[in-house]
Structure 1
């Protein structure tokens, strides 16, 4: 599966998860402190639009959000209180825009403004954001595919602080990151990468948990 296909598949799973979301549920707290589910959905819409904008302007390095982080945050607050149906419609429109923009990309190695990376990197960003925020909605457990777990461990490896060797052990898979004082955590792969992403896993994770550095 290509990275764009994986990202769009993550969006389909999110759409299925919120298909029956009610207005009251949209206003309830999410897993993220201070954010309702509406905030999470507004953010998913915004980041999807931002990555579509990167593709629509291929060859021009634009910042992801016009107006920067303050404008991004203001848009989330403005959109958070929408009805559940309005959230679903807005995200669907953003996905359609993204899919069209991606279909017209000429070179996935094109530099972009997002993280001073490449167009391909924006597709990985959509994959990460949508998959993790599906969990953040707090609408039940999620199970990440093995390929996503591999990507997320690689992306978040810099969160392991200096002087720590972190081993994440799940059935059939072990990741070892860093060097120094050993910390071995055991659990299902999804729970381990959720912890690495700063979330409290729903399943059991055993072992001493080191303090993690910020997101890269």
Structure 2
């Protein structure tokens, strides 16, 4: 599968899959569990969960933009994004779970209300890219699926992510990294390598983290 064949329906399903993996992974975490390191250097699980929850809130801003034509950026400033991540360790386990669950639900409900015309409206990502609203579920799928692995809880690995998602992710990162070829190996391991995450591929050069 390539980005050319990735559909809106695909992306919405993958975003739900990633959200389910995250919610399952945090279901039994206590304060100590949230304070433990994630697989992202320098981030605890509470930082990571706060980031994913804030990402849903930010994407809701873009859905509002697509629905109303009222410009509403993902984040008011880079400082706002940083503050959302830093908020994680200040919240209790129940507050983090509630934020993660509630923000994901609001985003899904907002996306459900978009009509055909609104899905085509362009918005700006945090990086300043103009994209149609149809790209928003894919942006969310990447956040939820990859960070479900990064959380380091619940035993989630790249092998647990949907095959179609992994294929689309691999094609996207390969193109963005301008790589002509890929190492031989199972798709989950190739995707992990491309994303700059731990993998078991032999003789594959190390890449900087992506996302």
Whether TM exceeds 0.5 here: the answer is: yes
CA distance 1:200–1:77, change in 2 (3 Å): same
1:132 aligned residue? 146
The CA deviation at 1:91 is 1.0
CA distance in 1, matches of 2:176, 2:132: 22
Q: TM-score, normalised by structure 1?
A: 0.81
CA distance in 1, matches of 2:89, 2:50: 6
Q: For residues 1-216 of structure 1, what are the structure 2 equivalents within 5 Å?
A: 1-58=9-66, 59-66=69-76, 68-106=77-115, 107-114=118-125, 115-139=129-153, 140-142=155-157, 143-161=160-178, 165-167=180-182, 184-186=183-185, 188-201=186-199, 204-206=200-202, 208-210=203-205, 212=207, 215=210
CA distance in 2, matches of 1:215, 1:158: 13
CA distance in 2, matches of 1:13, 1:213: 25
The CA deviation at 1:29 is 0.6
SS at the partner of 2:90?
coil
Structure 2 residue runs of 5 or longer lacking an equivalent are 1-8
Q: Which has the higher contact order (CA 8 A, sep 6+)?
A: 2
Contact 1:18 1:88 survives alignment (8 Å): yes
Higher helix residue share: 2
SS at the partner of 1:117?
strand
SS at the partner of 2:180?
strand
CA distance 1:134–1:165, change in 2 (3 Å): same
Please provide the CA RMSD for this pair. 2.0
Aligned residues: 193
Higher strand residue share: 1
Structure 1 residue runs of 5 or longer lacking an equivalent are 168-183
Provide, for residues 13-62 of structure 1, a one-character-per-residue CA deviation record: whole Å limited to 9, x for no partner: 21111111111010011100110000000000011111111112223443
